[in-house]
């Protein structure tokens, strides 16, 4: 069997695909299939921008690095942490549950720290909101810890999912005992996006 595929441009964004198959014994079959191509790549971030700003554009006040409200918090961080980019500021995430048993997401927002007693002492963790589709959205969340707000160390721990509402997850990462020989006291979440 042999198949030939020919693309014939008609009018954008519609193309006709002409398939021609011959069986080697002189028999031929042809079929034309119409394919619609969407010029706008409907990525997760673009759909989010359309929802909140009414545009897919990544420019001006709707750019990832811009702050739509002028509060200094980039749109990308509001996207990553599940906040409304039209509202000024970010409220803290609210997690109802325990580090050992999980729980539910009451509110998305800025990362926070949770300390819970255990039989061996204290469980000291950084909690943050992560989009469930973060891989498809091109987002990378990197927890970092510091003892002095100067030297930062990436977490080597695998984040634990504590809650999942289908869109967002609350994940936790344990504080390392030390950063640069000093007790870890601070954390931040570095969020990057792959274009």
| Judgement on whether residues 32 and 89 belong to the same structural domain of the protein | no
Q: Is 132's pLDDT higher than 90?
A: yes
| Judgement on whether residues 97 and 80 belong to the same structural domain of the protein | yes
Q: Cβ distance 185 to 146 under 8 Å?
A: yes
| Judgement on whether residues 98 and 28 belong to the same structural domain of the protein | no
Please tell me the distance from the alpha carbon of residue 153 to that of residue 52, in angstroms, as a whole number: 34
| Judgement on whether residues 29 and 51 belong to the same structural domain of the protein | no
| Judgement on whether residues 60 and 106 belong to the same structural domain of the protein | yes
Q: What angle do CA 191, 145, 87 make, to 5 degrees?
A: 40
| Judgement on whether residues 144 and 177 belong to the same structural domain of the protein | yes
For the segment 47-64, the average pLDDT, to the nearest whole number, is 92
Predicted pLDDT of residue 194? 85
3-state secondary structure of 61: helix
What does pLDDT average to over the chain?
Answer: 85
Number of domains in the chain: 2
Which residues are CB-contacts of 64 (< 8 A; sequence separation ≥ 6)?
45, 58, 74, 75, 76, 79, 193
| Judgement on whether residues 84 and 133 belong to the same structural domain of the protein | yes
| Judgement on whether residues 164 and 85 belong to the same structural domain of the protein | yes
Please tell me the distance from the alpha carbon of residue 143 to that of residue 152, in angstroms, as a whole number: 10
The parent domain of residue 32 ranges over 2-36
What distances in angstroms separate CA 191 from CA 31, 39, 103, 135, 149, one per listed residue?
Answer: 48, 28, 24, 12, 18
Predicted pLDDT of residue 145? 95
Structure tokens at 35: 């394919």
Which segments of the chain does DSSP mark as H helices, in order?
A: 44-53, 75-80
Predicted pLDDT of residue 41? 42
For the segment 169-185, the average pLDDT, to the nearest whole number, is 95
Length of the chain (residues): 195
Predicted pLDDT of residue 39? 42
Q: What percent of the chain has pLDDT over 90?
A: 69
| Judgement on whether residues 154 and 96 belong to the same structural domain of the protein | yes
């Amino acid at each position: 069997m042999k198949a030939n595929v020919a693309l014939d441009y008609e009018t954008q964004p519609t193309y006709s695909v002409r398939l021609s198959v011959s069986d080697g014994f002189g028999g031929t079959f042809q079929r034309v299939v119409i394919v619609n191509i969407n010029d706008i790549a409907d990525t997760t971030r673009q759909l989010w921008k359309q929802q909140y700003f009414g545009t897919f554009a990544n420019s001006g006040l709707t750019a990832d690095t811009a702050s739509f409200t002028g509060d200094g918090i980039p749109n990308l961080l509001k996207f990553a942490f599940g906040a409304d980019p039209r509202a000024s500021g970010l409220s803290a995430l609210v997690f109802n549950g325990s580090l050992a048993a999980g729980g539910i997401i009451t509110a998305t927002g800025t990362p926070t720290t949770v300390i819970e007693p255990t039989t061996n002492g204290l469980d000291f963790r950084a909690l943050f909101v992560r989009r469930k589709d973060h891989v498809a959205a091109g987002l990378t969340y990197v927890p970092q810890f510091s003892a002095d707000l100067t030297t930062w160390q990436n977490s080597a721990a695998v984040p634990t999912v504590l809650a999942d509402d289908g869109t967002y997850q609350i994940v936790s990462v344990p504080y390392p005992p030390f950063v640069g020989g000093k007790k870890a006291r601070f954390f931040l979440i570095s969020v990057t996006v792959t274009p």
